Structure 1
Amino acid sequence: MTTDQLYVELNYVDHSRASRLKYANLILAQPELIPELLNILFMVDDKTSCRAAWILEFMCGKNLEAIIPHLDQFTENIHHVHLDSAIRPVAKICEYLTKAYYSKNQNNLQSAFTSTHKEKIIEACFDWMINDQKIAPKAYSMNTLYLLGQDFNWIHPELALILERDFQMQSSGFKARARQILKKIKKA
């Protein structure tokens, strides 16, 4: 399947869990389509890129290791994503990646996830934290940054500063997650 064929196929994806799961399974069954899916995801001004992001998130939720050969392409381009419907799943994938990296259970991502990948994710997450994003990408970013702060000691003070600064102006969902993260930072 070419990028153009996959692009057409993505027009049939809707918000339903069943639809996203169906296409995630299609991609997992044909991993050669992952670069094509990423190409569509990074057509950042096209609404279809959001559907590609949904599928990639579900694919990573089922089999995170499928993205390992494509980490360079993913991390190099995430800062270009700007449509709200695409940012949320991309931020979720960043959280999946960092959770797997810091997992106590041995996995292949731990040897594939480089400091360059981490730096690109840190940059994107801080951008989502300081820009006018919805709560979900900010919540995923908070957790991702907290975890990455184990290797980059400057992250926790910067993250705490942002969380404390924005606390009063944000939603109750933001406040609840921020309280949890601030508590963890103070413990660490």
Structure 2
Amino acid sequence: MTLEEFYEELSHVSATRKNRLQCAEMVLKDMSLFPKLIDIMFRVDDPTSSRAAWVFEFVCEEYIYAIIPYLDIFTSNLKSVHLDSSVRPMSKVCTFIANTYFSEQPNTLKKMLKPHHKERIIEASFDWLIKDEKVAPKAYAMETLYLFGKEYSWINPELAQILEQDYATQSAAYKARAKHILKKIKKQLG
């Protein structure tokens, strides 16, 4: 399938879980589509980029290792993503990466995720947390930052400060996630 044909296919993806999953399964069956998916996903001003991001999230949820050859592209372009419907899946994929990286099981991502990749994910996550984003990207950013705080000692005190500072003005969903993360940070910091 050409890039143009795949773009056309993605332009018809709806927000329904079933529809996104069908397209993700198509990519998982033909991984030659994955770089095309990334290309379209980072056309950040194009509404179809959000549809690509939805599918990308499902592919990464099923097989996070697909991202490994594209870590440079993914992390370099995170900050350019700005459409609400694209930011959420990007932040969720960052959480998938962090969870895999910090899992107790040995895995390829632990070897391939370099300091500059981590720094870009951390920076994007702090941006999502501080900016006027919806709750979901903020919640994923909290989790991602908390996990990377296990490796970078400066993160969790900074994260705790932001969460405590913003707590009073945020939604109930934000408060619930922030409370959960703050409890984990306090336990970790002793």
| TM-score band, normalised by shorter chain | over 0.9
CA-atom RMSD in angstroms: 0.8
> What is the match of residue 28 of structure 1?
28
> What is the match of residue 157 of structure 1?
157
Tell me the distance in 1 between the aligned counterparts of 2:90 and 2:130.
17
TM-score (ref. length: structure 2): 0.97
Tell me the distance in 2 between the aligned counterparts of 1:128 and 1:17.
24
Tell me the distance in 2 between the aligned counterparts of 1:117 and 1:151.
14
Shift of residue 138 of structure 1?
Answer: 0.2
The alignment partner of 2:98 has SS state of helix
Letter in 1 for 2:156: H
Of 86-95 and 28-37, deviating more is 28-37
Would you say 1:137 and 2:124 are equivalent positions? no
Tell me the distance in 2 between the aligned counterparts of 1:161 and 1:5.
47
Letter in 2 for 1:38: I
CA deviations on 1:28-65 (whole Å, 9 max, x unpaired) are 11112111111111100010000000000000111111
> What is the match of residue 119 of structure 1?
119
Would you say 1:12 and 2:12 are equivalent positions? yes
- The list of structure 1 runs, each at least 4 consecutive aligned residues, that deviate by more than 4 angstroms after superposition, is none
Tell me the distance in 2 between the aligned counterparts of 1:70 and 1:23.
20
> What is the match of residue 101 of structure 1?
101
> What is the match of residue 82 of structure 1?
82
CA deviations on 1:113-172 (whole Å, 9 max, x unpaired) are 111110000010000000000000000000000000111111111111110110000001
Of 3-12 and 163-172, deviating more is 3-12
Shift of residue 109 of structure 1?
Answer: 1.2
Tell me the distance in 2 between the aligned counterparts of 1:110 and 1:167.
33
Tell me the distance in 2 between the aligned counterparts of 1:143 and 1:162.
13
TM-score (ref. length: structure 1): 0.98
The gaps in structure 1 that reach 5 residues or longer are none
> What is the match of residue 62 of structure 1?
62
> What is the match of residue 185 of structure 1?
185
> What is the match of residue 44 of structure 2?
44
CA deviations on 1:86-127 (whole Å, 9 max, x unpaired) are 000000000000000000122221111111110000010000
Give the total of aligned pairs: 188
> What is the match of residue 167 of structure 2?
167
Task: Using the aligned pairs only, state the percent identity.
Answer: 52
